[in-house]
Amino acid sequence: MLWGKLLKNYLLYTSMKRIATGIKNLDNLLEGGFEEKGLFLVMGRTGTCKSTFGMQFLVEGAKNGERGLYVSFEENPDSVKRTALRFGWDLDRLGVVVKKIAPYDYYRAVESMIKEIMFERPERVVIDSITNLMIYRSRPEWKGRYGVIELYTPTLADIRMSLFGLLERLRALGATYLLIAEEGVEGLDVVSHVSSLIADGIIRLGVEKIAGNEIRTLQVVKMRRTKHPLERMVLLLKDNGLDVVKAEDYFQ
């Protein structure tokens, strides 16, 4: 009985496979990376390299033969691919699928995204961004009537209810998710707050003035079942993508 329980716990422990994020030093600090099939949030204000993080995450998977899907609610696939090429990532050649979904009707956008995930069966999915998906929404009572153009800002209750539901549906599809959330958009920080509660891990990107210089930063805010540093680290944007170094090493 006891042995059975111990064996079960051991198997559970060893079955939590980690997958690399592709940001080498970050993976070293996260016991190897994200837990497979988890749901992770990358948040930050505009221009903090959230999309680059997402692309690098998919490229890392593709290099290991994992299928990747990048769902964009704002940028066209061509623009995403051109950005990736700047870092030497040829998304088409790597087999990373980039889809643009118009967010102008929340319900329709969610269904298109779920359909896409079920069709592509990706191991890794990036959603850029969950905030954008929430911004535009026809009134709930208009569900199914796509001709209506008028939009409104969702209430806190709307966001809570739809996010919990959406993230549960995503989890059930079985991929590893990287959700991008924008901070500092008036009235919509609640999107990152609500997602934070559900996410298995949170990474916050930023730009800060340190010793008179603007420095890109990365902080692991939460990572369930993982021993990780809490301090803000320096995020480096190199020719071949992102990397992190501890601040004490950077300012030496």
Ligand X SMILES: Nc1ncnc2c1ncn2[C@@H]1O[C@H](COP(=O)(O)OP(=O)(O)OP(=O)(O)O)[C@@H](O)[C@H]1O
Which residues does residue 19 pair with via DSSP β-bridges, in sequence order? 34
Which of ligand X, Mg ion, none sits in contact with 48, Cβ below 5 to 8 A by type?
ligand X
Half-sphere exposure of 199 (CA within 13 A, CB side): 25
Instruction: Report in angstroms how near the CB of residue 131 gets to ligand X at its nearest.
Output: 10
* Burial of residue 112, with CB atoms counted within 10 A of its CB: 0-12 exposed, 13-18 middle, 19 or more buried: middle
Of 81-100, binders to ligand X (CB under 6 A) are: 86
Q: Which is nearer to Mg ion, 29 or 181 (CB)?
A: 181
Of 50-79, binders to ligand X (CB under 6 A) are: 50-52
The site that binds Mg ion (CB under 5 A) totals a number of residues, namely: 1
Measured over the CA atoms of residue 213, residue 131, residue 242 and residue 22, the dihedral's sign is: positive
Applying CB under 5 A, the span of 49-57, 156-164, 226-234, 244-252 interacting with Mg ion comes to: 49-57
Alpha-carbon distance of 51 to 4, in angstroms, equals 45
Per CB under 6 A, the list member of 148, 237, 248, 249 interacting with ligand X is 237
Q: What is the 3-state secondary structure (H, E, C) of 176-231?
A: EEEEEEECCCCCCHHHHHHHHHHCCEEEEEEEEEECCEEEEEEEEEEECCCCCCCC
Quick one: which of 232, 176, 168 has its CA closest to 34?
Answer: 176
Interface mask (CB under 5 A) for Mg ion, residues 113-142, using x and -?
------------------------------
Q: Does 217 interact with Mg ion (rule: CB under 5 A)?
A: no
Q: Does 162 interact with ligand X (rule: CB under 6 A)?
A: no
Q: Does 217 interact with ligand X (rule: CB under 6 A)?
A: no
Instruction: Report in angstroms how near the CB of residue 199 gets to Mg ion at its nearest.
Output: 18
Q: Which is nearer to ligand X, 51 or 226 (CB)?
A: 51
3-state class (DSSP) for residue 71: strand
| Cα dihedral 66/168/51/53 (nearest 10) | -60
* Burial of residue 163, with CB atoms counted within 10 A of its CB: 0-12 exposed, 13-18 middle, 19 or more buried: buried
Per CB under 5 A, the list member of 51, 132, 162, 226 interacting with Mg ion is 51
Instruction: Report in angstroms how near the CB of residue 246 gets to Mg ion at its nearest.
Output: 26
The site that binds ligand X (CB under 6 A) totals a number of residues, namely: 10
Which of ligand X, Mg ion, none sits in contact with 91, Cβ below 5 to 8 A by type?
none
Site for Mg ion, rule CB under 5 A: 51
Binding site for ligand X (CB under 6 A): 44, 46-52, 86, 237
